[in-house]
Amino acid sequence: MALFLFGSWSGSPACAQEAPEPGLQSGPEMTARDIAKEALNPFAVSFKVPIESVTGFRVGPDRKTGESVNIEPLLPFAATPAWNVIVEPLLAMTSLPSPDATTGFDDIQTSVFLTPTQTSSWVWGLGPIVELPTASDEELGTGKWSAGPTGAVVYSNGPWLNGVLASHLASFAGDQHRAHVSLTSVEPQVSYTFENGWSVQTSPTISYDWTADAWTIPLGADVGSAFTVGSQAMSVLVGAYDLVKRPSGAPASIVRVQLTVIFPSPER
């Protein structure tokens, strides 16, 4: 339950994507729109640290509230003059309500993208996604080692950002008494960023659990604002989603609040 409830909302957001744009500056030289778009960009040339709180409502048979906090830093590296490598580890802590009340760490998940350094309106990235059975409680993880492919294709032009991120996780080792992992996730994303740094977007993570034969389909939107504190670039995002189709025991709705801190990379 915890993996569905919160893991797919990191980032990311995992999350909203856009192409790096020519002339994008770092630190105090960035405009409000630049900061907003950099915060949404998983192929960014800046180091950034999104910290997200997610609240799930009407969880489980008692229809109570669950909470999660996750951190998904984006770490870009120049592999060659023509290619970048983007590493995105996901670290999360979840609190589930009764009757299976527990609080602890989730499984650790990491995505790695290989993406070209070109700065056209279209950008893409491909790589592996890996999930490790590090959860501190059985209710918070799968008990399995899982891996698979992940990739994104994004179009970015002016204030608009449109794209899709997809991944598939399949277990290959772990606790033989736990269910096999076979999970496909697709995240379409559309956003509009205003010159003053405000943005609106929708980026639902639609998933299908092949083992449980269960769909997850959220509908909703996010509103964000970018700003600086001194010379530090930041962005805040608030969103709400109803789950119009969900597995048994999953929340009926989710609210998330995300703070992203952006640091210029040494190469910029």
Residue 251, preceding peptide bond in cis (omega within 30° of 0): no
Task: Quote the pLDDT of residue 27.
Answer: 44
Strands (E), the chain: 47-59, 64-71, 75-80, 83-96, 102-105, 108-116, 122-132, 144-157, 160-174, 182-193, 198-202, 206-209, 214-229, 232-245, 253-263
Tokens matching residue 83: 């290619």
Return per-residue pLDDT of the chain as tens, 268 residues: 444 455 445 434 333 333 344 334 444 477 888 889 888 877 777 899 999 999 999 998 888 999 999 999 999 999 999 999 999 999 999 999 988 899 999 999 999 999 998 768 888 999 999 999 999 999 999 999 999 999 998 888 889 888 899 999 999 999 999 999 999 999 999 999 999 999 999 999 999 999 999 999 999 999 999 999 988 999 999 999 999 999 988 999 999 999 999 987 655 4
User: What residues are paired with 173 via a beta bridge?
Assistant: 145
- Does residue 99 have a cis bond before it (omega within 30 degrees)? yes
Q: Which domains does the chain have, with CATH numbers?
A: 2-263 (2.40.160.40)
Q: How much is the pLDDT for 146?
A: 98
Give the span between the Cα atoms of 156 and 148, in whole angstroms.
Answer: 27
Burial of 158: CB neighbours in 10 Å, binned 0-12, 13-18, 19+: exposed
What CA–CA distance (Å, rounded) separates 136 from 119? 42
d(CA 23, CA 33): 13
Q: Which of helix, strand or coil describes residue 23?
A: coil
| Radius of gyration of the chain measured on its C-alpha atoms | 18
At position 36, the amino acid (one-letter code) is: A
From 113, 101, 117, 145, select the one nearest 1 (Cα to Cα).
101
Question: Residue 33 corresponds to which amino acid?
Answer: R
- The CA distance from 240 to 256, in Å, is 6
CB-facing half-sphere around the CA of 207: CA atoms within 13 A: 25
DSSP percent split of the chain into helix, strand, coil, nearest 5: 10, 60, 35
pTM here?
0.86
Tokens of 120: 């056209």
3-state secondary structure of 262: strand
